[in-house]
Amino acid sequence: MGMLAAEGTYDRLEKMLKTGTAPVDLLLLMAASENDAPKIAELIRAGADLESKDINGKTAGQIATSEEAQELIGKPELAYTF
Task: Give the model confidence (pLDDT) of 12-46 as tens digits.
Answer: 667 766 777 778 999 999 999 999 999 999 999 99
Query: What is d(CA 18, CA 76) in angstroms, rounded to the nearest whole number?
Result: 27
**Amino acid 19: pLDDT:** 72
CATH class of the structural domain 9-80: mainly alpha
Query: What is d(CA 24, CA 30) in angstroms, rounded to the nearest whole number?
Result: 10
Rg (C-alpha) for the chain, rounded Å, is: 12
Query: What is d(CA 14, CA 39) in angstroms, rounded to the nearest whole number?
Result: 21
Query: What is d(CA 27, CA 81) in angstroms, rounded to the nearest whole number?
Result: 20
Q: Whole-model pTM above 0.85?
A: no
First to last CA, the chain: 22
Query: What's the chain's average pLDDT?
Result: 86
